[in-house]
Amino acid sequence: MPFVLCFIGWHNSGKTTLVSRVVGRLKARGLRVAVIKSTKERGLVAEPPQTDTAIHHRAGADAVALVAPDQFLLRTAPPAKDLLAIVHRYFSAMDIVLAEGFKQAEGVDKIEVRRDAAAPRLSEQVAGVVATVTDLPGADGLVFGPDDITALVDWIEARRASEPENRHG
């Protein structure tokens, strides 16, 4: 089971930008990295309605996959919204899985991304927050600046190395 780490924060806090920068650094270090993005939106459409895969999905297929020379796309209902079940089922071959969102995920460490001083601190509302990425003064605990990507990635790798094997499995 790969190491799993969530990045949480309010809307427009910089989560996607931060996660994409972390992915780039982890990939440069030779790691297999996956990202899982959580959204509250329903009825997302990943393909135009007249594609073959969309037609199969509307016909009632429980899962539809599209295999191209350079991609594999899978459309299916998630096993609940259980992050660790999704990781186990679809991403077990990865070294690290970074999740964006999943504030309520149990048994997973979280990094709060905080840019708005007026917004409530998620670390006071959500279990499992182990670090904060912010440029605001007064943050408690382990804090990284938004541009401290190397230090953050070093910390992530150290955290991953110290994890008991299959902690999430």
Summarised one tens digit per residue, pLDDT across range 112-123 is 999 998 899 999
Give the domain extent around 144. 3-39+82-162
CB 15 within 8 A of CB 116: no
Using the 8-state DSSP alphabet, how is residue 164 labeled? P
Residue 118 lies inside a defined structural domain of this protein: yes
**Counted domains in the chain:** 1
Q: How many CA atoms lie within 13 A of 166 on its CB side?
A: 1
Summarised one tens digit per residue, pLDDT across range 37-94 is 998 777 666 677 788 988 998 899 989 988 989 988 888 877 777 899 999 999 999 9
Residue 64 lies inside a defined structural domain of this protein: no
